[in-house]
Structure 1
Amino acid sequence: MKIILLLIVAYILGSIPSGLWIGKVFYKKDIRQYGSGNSGTTNTFRILGAKAGFAVFLADLLKGTLATSLAYLPYVEINPLWLGLCAILGHVFPLFAKFKGGKAVATSAGMLLGYHPLFFLFSLAIFLVFLFITSMVSLSSMIAAVIITLSTFILPSIFPILLPETDGLLSCIAVIVTAFIFYLHRQNIQRIRQGNESRISFGLNKKSKKK
Structure 2
Amino acid sequence: MKVFVFIIIAYLLGSIPSGLWIGKLFYGKNLRDYGSGNTGTTNTFRVLGAKAGIVTFILDCLKGTIATSLPIIFHVTSVSPMLIGVFAIIGHSFPLFAQFKGGKAVATSAGVLLGYAPIYLIFLLLIFGLALYLSSMISFASVTVSIAAIATALFFPAFHFLLDSYDLTFTIIVVAASGLIIIRHIENIKRIKNKEENLVPFGLNITKQHKAK
Q: CA deviation at 1:157?
A: 3.1
The answer for the alignment partner of 1:177 in structure 2 is 177
Matched, 1:7 2:3: no
- Alpha-carbon distance in structure 2 between the residues aligned to 1:35 and 1:75: 43
Q: CA deviation at 1:88?
A: 0.1
The answer for the alignment partner of 2:119 in structure 1 is 118
- Alpha-carbon distance in structure 2 between the residues aligned to 1:74 and 1:102: 29
- Alpha-carbon distance in structure 2 between the residues aligned to 1:153 and 1:92: 24
The answer for the alignment partner of 1:149 in structure 2 is 150
The answer for the alignment partner of 2:61 in structure 1 is 61
State the Cα RMSD in Å.
Answer: 1.6
Matched ranges for 1:189-204 at <5 A: 189-204=189-204
Contact 2:149 2:175 in 1 (8 A): no
- Alpha-carbon distance in structure 2 between the residues aligned to 1:18 and 1:159: 37
- Alpha-carbon distance in structure 2 between the residues aligned to 1:122 and 1:154: 14
Q: CA deviation at 1:178?
A: 1.9
Q: CA deviation at 1:75?
A: 3.9
- Alpha-carbon distance in structure 2 between the residues aligned to 1:103 and 1:90: 11
Query: 1:110-153, CA deviations, whole angstroms, 9 ceiling, x for partnerless residues?
Result: 00000011011111111111111111111110111011111112
Q: CA deviation at 1:71?
A: 1.4
Contact 1:85 1:173 in 2 (8 A): yes
Number of residue pairs the alignment of both structures matches: 208
Q: Amino acid of the residue matched to residue 128 of structure 1?
A: G
- Alpha-carbon distance in structure 1 between the residues aligned to 2:74 and 2:35: 44
Q: CA deviation at 1:164?
A: 1.3
Q: CA deviation at 1:158?
A: 2.9
Q: CA deviation at 1:159?
A: 4.7
Matched, 1:107 2:108: yes
Consecutive unaligned residues in structure 2, runs of 5 or more = none
Give the secondary structure class of the aligned counterpart of 1:39.
coil
Consecutive unaligned residues in structure 1, runs of 5 or more = none
Identity score, percent: 50
Q: Amino acid of the residue matched to residue 93 of structure 2?
A: V
Contact 1:152 1:167 in 2 (8 A): no
Give the secondary structure class of the aligned counterpart of 2:173.
helix
Higher share of residues assigned helix? 1
Q: Amino acid of the residue matched to residue 195 of structure 2?
A: G
TM-score (ref. length: structure 2): 0.93
Deviates more, 1:182-191 or 1:111-120: 182-191
**Residues 105/73 of structure 1: CA separation in 2 closer, same or farther (3 Å cut):** same
